[in-house]
Amino acid sequence: MRRMLIASFLGIVAIFFLFYARRIPPSEPMVMAQYYINNAFHATGAPNSVTSVYLFYRYYDTLFETMTLFFSVVGVVCMSVHRGAEDNE
Amino acid sequence: MNGTLLLFVFLPIFAGLFVYLLKPAQNKGIAVLIQLTLVGLSAVWCSRDLSQAILVPLLQIPLPYGMALRIDRLGAFMMLISNLLFFLMVVFSFYKEYMTPLFLAIFLSLQGFINGVFLSVDIFNIYILVEVSTISVSILIMFKKDSQSMYDGMFYLMTNLVGMAFFLLGLGYLYKLFGVLDFVHLSKALPLLADKKALAIPFSLIFTGISLKSALLPLFSWLPKAHGTASAPSIVSAILSGVYVKTGVFLLLRVHEVFGAVIPLQELISVFGFATAIGGFVLAIAQSDIKLILAYHTVSQVGLILIGLGGGHPLNPVGGVYHILAHALFKGLLFLLAGVLIEIYGTRKISEMRGLWQRSKFLSATMIVAILSITGAPFFSGGFSKYFIAYGH
Amino acid sequence: MIFESFVDGETISVVLFFIGVYGICARRNILKSIISIGIMQAAIILFFLSIKADPAAVPPIGANIADYARVADPVPQALMITAIVVGISVTALSLTMFVNLHHKYGSSNWNKVKRKRRDID
């Protein structure tokens, strides 16, 4: 019963969401995309402009993305290590 | 001088990595030195004339295409608060045994990420920074790996992941609408949009994500669990309540800057502020655990800050921003005191703590100062900010 | 057909996103919550990639892509590489935490875990 209520509520919300979301037009000149398509190859020399966006134009994001990976590895190692007797419950 | 902005982000992170990987004998000394540098730098930035926001490009490419750091008055002020509080926390826990290189590394990196949020001008960059700071905070909460903190950290991580998923979807709709991702060009492009109703979806999604981050009324159940975890070191609770919740408020102000020209946000912020203030306050009275009281009180103070920010008189937002500073100071102090008290009495029940004046005069005097400030007594920082918030009402 | 005009990347991603939200709201299993967050992230990735998706567009690879009239947008692709890595790391972290939580509490139900958490106090 509870699941049915949640499902119907979320269904109504989703329908309204879609109704509004379809009003959103894509912006006509894609400002950033057009610039990268025109200039990326000459500025970076990478044939794939996704590469040049990922590693050159938005390198600051990529740096923190790597840090996310690093910290999750630190967290996984920190959670998995059991030492001492107090953890052997 | 402009290049020093990068230091705010990268100096703590690299220092943390250095401490973690090489484990030098003087690791806490290094941390204190770095904190002093950062506090000095942020004080210098705060004293500069920042009425025009300064953009420091990270590439030789202009803004919508490249990336940049931006500092304005609010950002400089928030950075001063955050660096000052981190400095005090490192000094406080200098001789504590939980200050292992791993803890220090995560703690210092968290400072770098928070500074990065205050300096960021790009909305996707903010998403990444908030996500990585969520991960490091959840590791800090669970640092002792006992049953309670495991549940609290898990709950914290899951709720914040859901909130940031909403934020990311809203960001996608914004990108679809405008084709740019930085605040400067978004706030220029927003008033030119023909169909204002198209903004409803991206705004509501982003507002949901941010109000979860800043613990507004229906979405605050993660905050007492995360901030009041019994076994987390008290400096973690102090940082979470003093600085980390304020990144949500800061993001709310940034959203206000972007959407404010089109969507009238003042009333919305006021209404949420009132509801949050009353709700947090009522729940705080019902607790008996000292850390939980402080955690629920943080919820109500966030509401109070929002009441100030949404106020009609021009002095009210000033009071709101001032209350961020005041709350960071007295709540940090109270969380540290709560940690000390729990150590002394061996219990977290506030009714079983008595006779502090006989045990330590100094602690009691500090406690009285903190309590006077938290109640907003005259001539204390909490009092002045509350006058400003109430001005004109 | 009017029905076929609705079946595009955006609609499917919104439906998937709400399926993920339903999973989080209605299911009490911690593992299912983690899976639901994964579904939400997949929906967001699909949404970003279907912004201005066009079957006729050429991929943004090569020296002379500026000459083509319609080129796929490289920005969402680059953003989604970042988001995928973030998604992987948070999923890994939450799964490890779940294993630890299950060791401590012996249950994978949010309500039971919450009740046991309250008993500890």
Cα B353 to its chain centre, rounded Å, is 30
Residue linked to tokens 């030195």: B33
> Which pLDDT score is estimated for B311?
81
The residue type found at B364 is S
Write out chain C's pLDDT in tens, 121 residues.
Answer: 677 777 788 889 999 999 999 999 998 899 999 999 999 999 999 999 988 788 888 888 888 887 888 888 888 999 999 999 999 999 999 999 999 888 888 888 888 988 888 887 6
Rounded Cα distance, B106 and A80, in Å? 17
> Which pLDDT score is estimated for B353?
79
The answer to whether the beta carbons of residues B157 and B141 sit under 8 Å apart is no
| C75 Cα to chain B: minimum distance (Å) | 9
Rounded Cα distance, B64 and A13, in Å? 34
State which residue of chain B sits closest to A83, comparing Cα positions.
B145
A86 pLDDT higher than 60: no
> Which pLDDT score is estimated for B345?
84
Complex ipTM: 0.94
Answer whether A57 touches B (CB < 8 Å).
yes
Which DSSP letter does residue B241 get? I
**Cross-chain CB nearest to B151 (options C34, C75, C101):** C101
* Each residue's pLDDT tens digit, B10-38: 999 998 888 888 888 787 888 888 889 99
Using CA atoms in the order B200, B308, B325, B100, what is the torsion angle rounded to 10 degrees?
-40
Q: What stretches of B173-272 adopt beta strand conformation (E)?
A: none
Answer yes or no: do B177 and A79 touch at CB < 8 A.
no
* Each residue's pLDDT tens digit, C87-110: 999 999 999 999 988 888 888 888
Q: Could you tell me the residue ranges of all domains in chain A? A: 27-80
What would the 3-class secondary structure string for B142-155 be?
CCCCCHHHHHHHHH
- Number of Cβ pairs closer than 8 Å across A and C? 104
Cα B174 to its chain centre, rounded Å, is 25
As given in the structure block, the two tokens for residue B117 are: 């949020």
* Each residue's pLDDT tens digit, A2-41: 889 999 999 999 998 888 887 777 777 778 888 888 888 8
Dihedral sign from CA coordinates of C109, C111, C112, C113 = positive
Residue linked to tokens 């912020």: B269
Name the more confident of B259 and A23.
Answer: B259
> Which pLDDT score is estimated for A84?
53
Answer yes or no: do C34 and B158 touch at CB < 8 A.
yes
**Cross-chain CB nearest to A71 (options B59, B64, B136):** B136
| B386 CB-near residues (< 8 Å, 6+ apart) | B304, B319, B323, B376
The residue type found at B123 is I
Cα B211 to its chain centre, rounded Å, is 13
Answer yes or no: do B165 and C37 touch at CB < 8 A.
yes
Q: What is the largest CA-CA distance in chain B?
A: 69
State which residue of chain C sits closest to B171, comparing Cα positions.
C48
Answer yes or no: do C100 and A69 touch at CB < 8 A.
no
Q: Which residues of A touch C66 (CB under 8 A)?
A: 37-38
Mutation to test the B interface, candidates C40, C85, C89, most B Cβ within 10 Å: C40
A83 pLDDT higher than 70: no
Answer whether B198 touches C (CB < 8 Å).
no
How big is the CA angle at B118 (ends B28 and A65), to the nearest 5 degrees? 75
Answer yes or no: do C89 and A61 touch at CB < 8 A.
no
The three-class DSSP label of residue C71 is strand
Q: Which residues of A touch C100 (CB under 8 A)?
A: 79
Distance in Å from the first CA to the final CA of chain A: 39
Q: Which residues of A touch C105 (CB under 8 A)?
A: none
> Which pLDDT score is estimated for B350?
79
Question: What percentage of chain B exceeds 90 in pLDDT?
Answer: 23
* Each residue's pLDDT tens digit, C45-55: 999 998 878 88
As given in the structure block, the two tokens for residue C5 are: 């005009």
Q: Which residues of C touch B158 (CB under 8 A)?
A: 33-34, 37, 94
Answer yes or no: do B157 and C94 touch at CB < 8 A.
yes
Chains with at least 3 CB pairs less than 8 angstroms from chain B: A, C
| B185 Cα to chain A: minimum distance (Å) | 10
Residue linked to tokens 């977290």: B348
Query: What pTM value is reported for the model?
Result: 0.93
Q: Please name each of the domains of chain C with its CATH number.
A: 2-54+72-120 (1.10.287.3510)
Rounded Cα distance, C42 and B175, in Å? 18
As given in the structure block, the two tokens for residue B211 are: 């109000």
For the residues of B333-374, what is the DSSP string, one character each?
HHHHHHHHHHHHHS--BGGG---HHHH-HHHHHHHHHHHHHH
Computed over every residue of chain C, the mean pLDDT equals: 88
> Which pLDDT score is estimated for C121?
66
Residue linked to tokens 């506030």: B350
A68 pLDDT higher than 90: yes
Q: pLDDT confidence of B375, banded at 50, 70, 90? A: confident
Answer whether A38 touches C (CB < 8 Å).
yes
Pairing type for strands B54-57 and B68-71 reads: antiparallel
Rounded Cα distance, A50 and A47, in Å? 9
Rounded Cα distance, C44 and B208, in Å? 16
The answer to whether the beta carbons of residues B332 and B296 sit under 8 Å apart is no
* Each residue's pLDDT tens digit, B331-367: 889 988 888 888 888 877 877 778 778 888 888 888 8
Average pLDDT estimate for B47-58 = 84
State which residue of chain A sits closest to B21, comparing Cα positions.
A74
- Number of Cβ pairs closer than 8 Å across B and C? 80
Backbone angles phi, psi at B170, to 5 degrees: -60, -40
For the residues of B34-74, what is the DSSP string, one character each?
HHHHHHHHHHHHHHS--SSPEEEESSSS-TTTS-EEEE-HH
* Each residue's pLDDT tens digit, B287-338: 888 888 888 889 999 999 999 888 888 888 888 889 999 999 888 899 888 8
